[in-house]
Structure 1
Amino acid sequence: MTRLQNSHSTSRRAFIAGAAAGAAALGAGKAAALVGTPASGAECGSGALPDLATADVDTWSDQIGRAFSVETAAGAISLLLVSVAPGRAAGPHAGPGVRTRAFTVTFKAAAEVPADRTYVVRPAHGGALPIHFSPAAEPGKIVALFA
């Protein structure tokens, strides 16, 4: 069986890693300038802005209650981070630059945000990062998985 014929068995983690590598190759300099760059330190409370694109479950948990916005075809929609739920620990493949634990983040949206799409999400304190959202069990909420 060729690699192409066996592509349906590619793991989700491999797909995400490939997508991230592709995004990095297309706009590494621009993305690095956007993610983790506050408009001003005063807007972030402590002045230290975490890089949410690579952040772990604990760093995301510290953001619960913070405002974000998502850019949709209908315009910007306000989001509120309402929960972070840890998943299972990473296996023996975990290493530098790999999250040691998968987790989900749930946002409450001020208006409908169609799920199963990737959007540019902006924390209120500055920066931007692409996040792929899935539908949540509750209406008015969207979920993202970080692996």
Structure 2
Amino acid sequence: MDIARKAEMKAVAGPAEYFTGEVTITGQFQRPDPSRVSGAIVHFEPGARTAWHTHPAGQTLIVTEGIGWTQVDGGPKYEFHAGDIVWCPADSKHWHGATEHEAMTHIAIQESVDGSPVTWMEKVTDAQYLEPVSTQSTQRAAP
């Protein structure tokens, strides 16, 4: 067993190349082979967000605090809240982050394929970020 103690976890700023606004990443982990799982706790201040990106095996976001937004390229923008669990399907170009006025924290969990858990792309523009939130319900895949 290995226990990562909160007091020993280092906090790092989200790299400006991949994030817009103030983002703090803590608790980063990468499990050893044969596992392919990695993750982190990511905190977004209001207005902060990821760049567009994909995950080769998808990504799970467990929202622990606040309110956030997410969008798959070409699709509607959705709002999510503390307690929600967001699934981003494999190879879906998407972004996620805090809302304009509320901070948000999530635990991000993803798997690596061919040694990489993510492919980063261009930044989300302010116009894209500020698009209206969809009033549709999200679609759920069958279990």
Greater RCO (Cα-Cα under 8 Å, separation 6 or more): 2
Over alpha carbons, which structure has the higher Rg? 1
Structure with the larger helix share:
1
Relative to the length of structure 2, the TM-score reads 0.29
Higher strand proportion (structure 1 or 2): 2
Q: TM-score, normalised by structure 1?
A: 0.28
